[in-house]
Structure 1
Amino acid sequence: MSGGLQGLDPQDCLDLVNALKDSAHQLNRTGAQLNQTIARAGWQGPDSQRFRSQWPGNRTILNHTAQNLELAAMALLREIAEQERASAVDGGGGPLAELIDGAKDLWEDITDGVGNVFDDVKDGLDWLGQEILANPVVHANLNFYGNLGYLAAIPIAALINGPPSLISVLASLGLVAGSGVDAITTTLTGGLVNPKFFDDGMVEVGGPQAVTNSSESSLTQPTSVADIFDSVLSAYEATDSNGDPTAGVRIVSVRQPDGTYAYIVNIPGTESNTANSNNNPLDYTSNVRLASGQSSAASRAVAEAMARAGIPPEAPVMLVGHSQGGMIAQELATDPSFTGQYNLTTVLTAGSPTQPYAIDPNINYLAIAHPADIVPMFDGGGTMSDLTTYQQAPNVHVVPTDNPPFSGPIGDFIPAMHDQNTYRQDLTQLGKYPDIGRFENDPSTQVFITDDPSRVSAVDIDFSRK
C-alpha cells in the first residue's frame, strides 16, 4: 500500500484507469479506421452489400464497448477519490489532499455536466430517429427502396463474381414486388393500412434460460448426430420467460477434456406461414430474404443469441437446422462477418434448400433431404441465372434420403415429406447412408458428441421481431 491508505491501492487503480482509457481510445480509433477502410474498399456484390449493411451495427457495438470502458474508468476514479478522503480522515491527508480532492470534485462536476449534455443530445437524436422509422409510410418506402437497390446491384455483382443463382434473382424480384405493394398501399392510405409485406423489421433477443429437468423440453444427450438433431426439435418448442410460445434457439455446450467448450446451435424452421411480418421472424419474409442471398431478421437473431450465450471466438461451433433453420445456418456459414467472429467447423441441415454459395472448405457440411420434400427444391437444383448448374464444393455433402412411408390424406403429403421427426430417423441409419456415417465420425463432429452427461449443458434463447 502507498501513502498509508487502507483498502485499494491508488497507484494500482490509476494504472487500471489508464489501461481502461487506452483500451477505449483504441476501440474508437479502430472503429474510425475500419469505417474509412470499408468506405474506400472496392469490394462489390451481394456479399459486400450485406457486410456493409451490418457494419453500422457492429460499429455501434464497438462504440458502446468503448463508452462502457470510459464509464468504468470514471467510476474507478471516483473510488480512488473516496479512498483518499477516507484516508485523510484517518490522518493521512492535510491541505494538499484537500486541494487534490477539490480539484477532482471540480473535474467530476465538469465532466458530468458535459456528459449530461452529450447524453441529452444523443437521446434526442435516438428519439428522433425512432420516431422517423416508426412512421409506417417512411418505413415501408425505406424497405421497398432497400430491396430495389439490392436487385439493381445483382447485374453489377454478376460482372465481378459471375452469375447469381436463378432462385436468388427470382426471390429478389419477389421482395421488390411485395414490398412495392406494401409501400404503395401504406403511402396512399397515409399509414392507416400497412400490410407489412416482406417487412423484415428489427429483432429483440432474450437472455439465456438454462435448460433443466423442469424445462418444457428436456436436454437430449448428444451421443450421435441424430441425438444432436433432437435439440432442433426442442427448439421448435421454445417459450419465453413467461412460458408463452415464441421463436428461439437451443445452444448446447459440450465440455472438452482440456476444460474448453464446443457449442451446438440448434435452429428450428418456419413457424409462421405469413409474408406480412409479425412478431415471429421465422416466417416467409425470412425465407424469401434468405433465398435472395440476404440476411434476415431470423438469421440476425441467431447470431445475436450466440453473442448472448457468450460463445468465445476460438470455440468450435456447429450449426444445426431444419427447413428455414438450415437456410439460416448456410447464410451464416457464408457471411464473412460471422465466420470471422466464430470458429464455425460443422454444419448439419435437414429438409433445407442448399443454395449455390461458396462454403469455406474447412467447414464439414452435411445436408439431407427427401426427394419428395418440396422445400429443398427451392434451391433450384443449383441452377444459375445463365442456366448452368453450380457444382458444390467437395466438403458439402448433399445426401438424398428415402421418402418416409405415407398413407394419409393427400393434403398431408407435403408436411409428411418435410417432417423433422422423419429426418431425425434418417440420421440414425449410418449403414444405409455412408455419408452420414462419415460425417458423424469426422473429428470435426466428434468434439460435439459425448456420452458423459456431466460434460453437457444447454440454454434456450428466445427472440422476436419488433
Structure 2
Amino acid sequence: MNGFHGMAPDAVRSYAGRLHAASGALEDRRGRLDAAVRTVSWAGPDAEDFRGRWREQATDSLTALCDQLDRLGDQALTEADEQDATSAPDGGSSGTDGGGTGTDGGGAMIPPAPAADIAHGYRQDDAPWMPDWLEAPLEEGLSGVAGVTSVAIGWGVDTGIDLVEDGLGSIGVRTDGIAQFQRDADHVGTILEDWATGERVPTYAELGAAALVTTGSAGVGVYEAVTGEDTPFLDDRPGGIVTDVVTDDGRARSPRDLQDLVADNDALRMDSPGQAPLEAGQIGIQEVRGASGGRPSYIVQVPPTEGAGATDVPGAYGEQGNSRDWGSNLRLVAGQHPAAMDDVQAAMAAADVPPGADVLIVGHSQGGIVANQLAADPSFNSTSGDPGTYNVTHTFSVGSPVQTVVPAQGTTRSVNVSHEAGTGLEGFSGDLIAETDLGGAQPGGTHLGAPNRHEVTLDPYPVTGIDPVPVLVANHDSMGSGHDPAGGYSGSLARSTASDPTLSALQDDLAGVYLGDGTYVARSQVVTVGRGEP
C-alpha cells in the first residue's frame, strides 16, 4: 500500500452497496452450483468424495464469504457515517514508487522504464480509494472464490477430456492429439485462473497466442482421431537433445559493444536454402573473464526463427528438429515453455556453465523471446545456486516481441530494441514483428511492464510499401544485406548507442564484465541442439 489517502465517504458508500450486491450474487451462484453438484447423475465412491469435498471446501467457504462481504459492507457504511460526523477529508497525498534499477556494485544507471499504467493483479496492486482494512480481506475473499471456482471448472473439463480420451482409446482411435489439446487447454485455464484470483493480469498478446495454440491443438486432436494419422502440427514435444559441442579454448577478444553482440548472434544462424526444415539449431556460449581475475561471466547467444518458412505446414509448426520454428513463436508468446527454451538450458549444461553464474542472454527476434521468457522464470533466473539456476544480470534483444513478461529478479535488466512500426498512405514501415506483442497491452487499458523492463524504439529505415517483405528485410534483420554491419539492427545500434540514454547506459553496464577493455573470452562454445522426431 503506497501513501495515505483520506476517506471519500460517498465513494465508500457506493462501494458498500457493491459489496452487498456481490454478496447476494455470490449466494445466488452458490445455490445454483450446489444444486448442480447434488443432482448430477454420477454415482460411486469418487462421486461421493467429490460431493463431500464440495460441501467442506466450497459450500462452507462461499457461505462464509457471503457473510464476510455483508459485514464489510455494513462496516464501510458505519465508517463513512463516522467520517462525515467527525472530520472532512484530509487531502492526503499518495506516495510514488520511485524504485529504479542500476548496477549492483556501482557503474552505469539504466534509467527506470515508465511504470505509470502497469497492472500486476488486484492482489498486488493498491486501490487508493479503498481503506486498507477493507481492501485486504475483500481481495483475499474474492481470490479464494475465484480459485475454488477455477479448480471446479478445470476438474470438470479435464474429467470430460479424460473420459473422451479413454473411450476413444479403448476402440483403437489415436488420442495423442487430444492429450496435446488438453495440455494447451490447461495452460489457458492457468492464465485465466491467475487473472481471476488477482495474481497477475495477462496481456492481449498472451491471451491471443494461447487461444490460437489451443484452437490449433483442438484441430489436431480431431484430425488424428478421425484419420488415424499422426501429424506433427503444433507438436509440443520437448527439446534439449545435444548432438555436438564445438569448443575453442584459445584466448580471444571479447565483444567491444552492443553492435558486436548482434554480429555474434547473426554468425550462429544456420544456412537453410529455400527456407527448408533444419534438423537442429545452434546456441553460442562465451566464457568471459577479467584481466585482473575473478569469477567468469557468460554470454549466451540465441539466434532467431530458423528453417522452414512460415507457409510450410507442418514443417514450420512442429515437424523440423530445430525447435526455433514458427510454432514455438506462438507458444512462447502464449507463455508456455516450449522446446526452444529446453535447448538453451541443455546447451548451458553441456557448456558447463556453473549454477549461479552471472549470465547475459542475447537474442534476435524469437531468440529474444526465449531470453526474456527464461529471465522471467524463477526456476531459471535465480541466485539460489541450485542446479539449473543462473543469475541473469541482463537480457539484450533486437526485433523481439517481448512485452508479455517481466524478469523474475528485480536486478535483471531487460532491454529490447525495435524499429518503430507504422502504417500510412505509403503502406507499412518499421519492424512489424516486434509489434506483435501489442506493446504489452492488458485488459483494462493498462500495459505490462516494470522499471527494469526497457523498450528502446529507434527510427525505421526509409523503406515502405504494401508488401511487408522488403520492409521487414530492412527493419527486422539483425544485419544488412550480405551481413553488412551497417544495415539492420546492427547499423542502427552503431548510430544510436551513444545518443540513446538507455543504450549508452546498458553498454556502460556491460563494460568490464561482458564487453570491452579489461575482459577477454577464455572459452567459446557452439552447442548443436534440438528435439527428436515427432
TM-score, structure 1 length as denominator?
Answer: 0.64
| Distance apart, 1:221 and its partner CA | 3.6
Q: Superposition pairs for residues 401-420 of structure 1, below 5 Å?
A: 401-406=458-463, 410=467, 411-420=469-478
| Distance apart, 1:153 and its partner CA | 2.5
Is the deviation greater in 167-176 or in 445-454? 445-454
Which of these residues, 412, 435, 441, is aligned with residue 383 of structure 1? 441
C-alpha distance in 1 between matches for 2:282 and 2:211:
29
| Distance apart, 1:454 and its partner CA | 5.5
**Partner SS state of residue 287, structure 2:** strand
Aligned twin of 2:356: 314
Counterpart check, 1:396 vs 2:453: yes
C-alpha distance in 2 between matches for 1:277 and 1:144:
17
Which of these residues, 258, 265, 289, is aligned with residue 300 of structure 2? 265
1:168–1:453 Cα change, 3 Å: closer
Counterpart check, 1:440 vs 2:478: no
Aligned twin of 2:12: none
Asked if structure 2 preserves the Cα contact closer than 8 Å seen for 1:168 and 1:291, the reply is yes
Asked if structure 2 preserves the Cα contact closer than 8 Å seen for 1:235 and 1:268, the reply is yes
RMSD: 3.0
**Partner SS state of residue 494, structure 2:** coil
C-alpha distance in 2 between matches for 1:156 and 1:396:
25
Aligned twin of 1:175: 213
Asked if structure 2 preserves the Cα contact closer than 8 Å seen for 1:249 and 1:268, the reply is yes
Aligned twin of 1:332: 374
Deviation readout 1:254-303 (Å, 9 max, x if unpaired): 11232421100000111133224321211111111111111110011111
Aligned twin of 2:22: none
| Distance apart, 1:406 and its partner CA | 3.2
| Distance apart, 1:149 and its partner CA | 1.3
Asked if structure 2 preserves the Cα contact closer than 8 Å seen for 1:266 and 1:319, the reply is yes
| Distance apart, 1:403 and its partner CA | 1.0
**Partner SS state of residue 171, structure 1:** helix
Aligned twin of 2:82: none
Which of these residues, 209, 225, 243, is aligned with residue 206 of structure 1? 243
**Partner SS state of residue 402, structure 2:** coil
Which of these residues, 403, 419, 430, is aligned with residue 370 of structure 1? 419
| Distance apart, 1:209 and its partner CA | 0.8
Q: Give the partner amino acid of 1:358.
A: V
Counterpart check, 1:423 vs 2:489: yes
Which of these residues, 149, 167, 187, is aligned with residue 225 of structure 2? 187
Deviation readout 1:206-227 (Å, 9 max, x if unpaired): 34212489xxxxx874111211
**Partner SS state of residue 299, structure 2:** strand
C-alpha distance in 2 between matches for 1:249 and 1:305:
7
Counterpart check, 1:345 vs 2:398: no
Q: Give the partner amino acid of 2:501.
A: P
Asked if structure 2 preserves the Cα contact closer than 8 Å seen for 1:440 and 1:446, the reply is no
**Partner SS state of residue 436, structure 2:** helix
Asked if structure 1 preserves the Cα contact closer than 8 Å seen for 2:286 and 2:521, the reply is no
Aligned twin of 2:106: none
| Distance apart, 1:358 and its partner CA | 2.9
- Identity of matched residues, %: 27
Deviation readout 1:217-254 (Å, 9 max, x if unpaired): xx874111211222111121389xxxx97411111111
Count the aligned residue pairs: 326
C-alpha distance in 2 between matches for 1:327 and 1:220:
28
1:379–1:408 Cα change, 3 Å: closer
Which of these residues, 271, 277, 289, is aligned with residue 255 of structure 1? 289
Q: Superposition pairs for residues 139-154 of structure 1, below 5 Å?
A: 139-154=176-191
Give structure 1 stretches of 5+ with no counterpart: 1-41, 46-131, 214-218
Q: Superposition pairs for residues 229-308 of structure 1, below 5 Å?
A: 229-237=262-270, 246-256=280-290, 257-271=292-306, 272=308, 273=310, 274-308=316-350
**Partner SS state of residue 450, structure 1:** coil
1:177–1:455 Cα change, 3 Å: closer
Q: Give the partner amino acid of 1:147.
A: D
1:169–1:453 Cα change, 3 Å: closer
Counterpart check, 1:357 vs 2:423: no
Is the deviation greater in 410-419 or in 173-182? 410-419
Asked if structure 1 preserves the Cα contact closer than 8 Å seen for 2:288 and 2:519, the reply is no
Question: Which structure has the highest helix share of the two?
Answer: 1
1:403–1:456 Cα change, 3 Å: farther
| Distance apart, 1:364 and its partner CA | 1.8
Asked if structure 2 preserves the Cα contact closer than 8 Å seen for 1:267 and 1:319, the reply is yes
Q: Give the partner amino acid of 2:232.
A: K
Q: Superposition pairs for residues 86-235 of structure 1, below 5 Å?
A: 137-160=174-197, 161-191=199-229, 194-203=230-239, 204-211=241-248, 221-235=254-268
1:149–1:426 Cα change, 3 Å: same
| Distance apart, 1:332 and its partner CA | 0.1
C-alpha distance in 1 between matches for 2:263 and 2:173:
40
C-alpha distance in 2 between matches for 1:138 and 1:185:
10
| Distance apart, 1:202 and its partner CA | 2.4
1:445–1:237 Cα change, 3 Å: farther
Which of these residues, 430, 436, 457, is aligned with residue 523 of structure 2? 457
1:183–1:445 Cα change, 3 Å: farther
Deviation readout 1:338-392 (Å, 9 max, x if unpaired): 01310110110100012232322201221100112111111111111x2422252
| Distance apart, 1:464 and its partner CA | 1.7
Q: Give the partner amino acid of 2:284.
A: R
Asked if structure 1 preserves the Cα contact closer than 8 Å seen for 2:175 and 2:224, the reply is no
Asked if structure 1 preserves the Cα contact closer than 8 Å seen for 2:203 and 2:448, the reply is no
Aligned twin of 1:16: none
| Distance apart, 1:409 and its partner CA | 9.6
| Distance apart, 1:140 and its partner CA | 2.0
Q: Give the partner amino acid of 2:213.
A: L
Q: Give the partner amino acid of 1:461.
A: V
Asked if structure 2 preserves the Cα contact closer than 8 Å seen for 1:206 and 1:462, the reply is yes
| Distance apart, 1:448 and its partner CA | 0.2
C-alpha distance in 2 between matches for 1:330 and 1:457:
25
| Distance apart, 1:463 and its partner CA | 1.2
Asked if structure 2 preserves the Cα contact closer than 8 Å seen for 1:144 and 1:179, the reply is yes
Asked if structure 2 preserves the Cα contact closer than 8 Å seen for 1:238 and 1:248, the reply is no
| Distance apart, 1:174 and its partner CA | 0.6
Asked if structure 2 preserves the Cα contact closer than 8 Å seen for 1:220 and 1:230, the reply is no
